[in-house]
Amino acid sequence: MKTLIEKFTNQLEDALNIGNNSNLAKTTKSINNIVITGLGGSGIGGKIVTQLVEKEVKVPIIVNHGYHLPGFVNENTLVIISSFSGNTEETLEAMEIAKERKSEIACISSGGKVIEIAKANNYNYIVLPECHSPRAMLTYSLTQQFYLLNHYGFINDDFKESIKGAIYLINKEKEDIKKEALKIAKGLKGKTPIIYSEESFEGVSIRLRQQLNENAKTLCWHNVLPEMNHNELVGWAGGKDEYAVILFRNDSDYSRTQKRMEISKEVIEKYTNTHFEVWSKGKDAIEKSFYFIVLGDWISVYLADLLEVDPIEIKVINHLKGELAKI
């Protein structure tokens, strides 16, 4: 897993090449809304991208994480199918629904049934490299979602320069990122992590939560501000030192939310001595997001080391899939 994280920026460069060389057909349909459907490491990219483009995309766009699709999905919906393996059963069922409703379907996958169906039905598709650990390949699926949104005319191509900027930034900050990640991981050992961020960066918080779950075999939770101030902050009356807080911050966070973060810190610090305030680096939201993502990935594998667990192992998920296959 460490080797894969070390290749983070190489993956981004490769993802840009894949996107630039993709062969996508135009559509005659009028697209009124967009649904990105996928789960786990294949689905989180949709959440992150949706937040990064929300000010530019002029139609509703949502992320779907289940077997079904919302009732509004029809022939004027762009449904982006994201499944790294191409065999995720929930995503395949959602794909069949999109097909029945005659939606515009575009696929992102390394192969499997998704690409088979895409080829058989002349859907747009982008093929990703194969990998046994999809969560370590977020760079690929996330980047291709930008390309699909650009192809269908919903965003311009500024994202390409931003991704190049992220590559430069992460390479430049690589050792400092690893150093900070190790410090945070040591603070998390033996505690329950809680991740907070501004609402517009919830995707990167979810990404860290997922990485801590899978790589470090650690339960944790996340929340966002200002929503957290309307419920969870009161819960801190029952806070304990067994909780460790990671607060993702950006100099671009809304001013009122930044003030809320400062006040919330004062409350949290009364109940736990373990809290990390992490400021992003980067010129824009894409650079800042990738900075947080790679930092979080390193936190998760360093914590796995400290807890002496295998970050690659997913026996529980394989057991689940095996049992479902019997039905």
Q: Which residues are catalytic?
A: 214, 230, 321
Instruction: State the DSSP H helix or E strand holding residue 140, giving kind and residue range, or none if neither.
Output: helix 138-151
Contacts of 89 (CB under 8 A, 6+ apart): 67, 324
Distance in Å from the first CA to the final CA of the chain: 32
Count other Cβ atoms within 10 Å, centred on residue 11.
20
Q: Which two tokens stand for residue 21?
A: 């060389």
What single letter denotes the amino acid at residue 64?
Answer: N
Q: Note whether 246 and 296 are within 8 A (CB).
A: no
Contact 184, 34 (CB under 8 A): no
Report the distance separating Cα 292 and Cα 185, nearest Å: 14
CB distance 60 to 34 below 8 Å: yes
Rounded CA gap, 323 and 317, in Å? Answer: 10
